[in-house]
Amino acid sequence: EVQLVESGGGLVQPGGSLRLSCADSGLTFSNNWMTWVRQAPGKGLEWVASIKKDGSEIYYVDSVKGRFTISRDNARNSLFLQMNSLRGEDTAVYYCVSGDHFNYWGLGTLVTVSS
């Protein structure tokens, strides 16, 4: 069974950086697309970025291009999201998602960008 645990969220000032991590305790991490999806307070779901199983394909939503970097370490069953130049509109719960069809979701980690 896939269990995803995010960490690294917190309060950061505008312009600051954070690195989110997601640990996958399942046995199929290296076989799956991995994705970050976020949800601003009181808002809907927004896709942020996805990375193919071997890292050969990476996609970002336009609003984070050049600021966020998704990466993975298949040896450690871990997914990462490096977030730089953070803005208020990046405030959200960030979910780590496994699978081609958003099959498994973590509980999320809250990122708050505020001075």
Q: Which residues bind another protein (CB under 8 A)?
A: 35, 37, 44-47, 50, 59-62, 95, 99-108
Q: From residue 62, give the alpha-carbon distance in Å to each of 38, 65, 66.
A: 14, 5, 9
CB-wise, 14 or 107, nearer to another protein?
Answer: 107
Query: What b/e readout covers 56-70, taking b as 16+ CB neighbours within 10 angstroms?
Result: eeeebeeebeeebbb
Identity of the residue, 80 or 95, whose beta carbon is nearer to another protein in the bound complex: 95
Q: Which is nearer to another protein, 53 or 105 (CB)?
A: 105
Q: How far is the CB of 13 from another protein (least distance, A)?
A: 27
Residue type at 100?
D
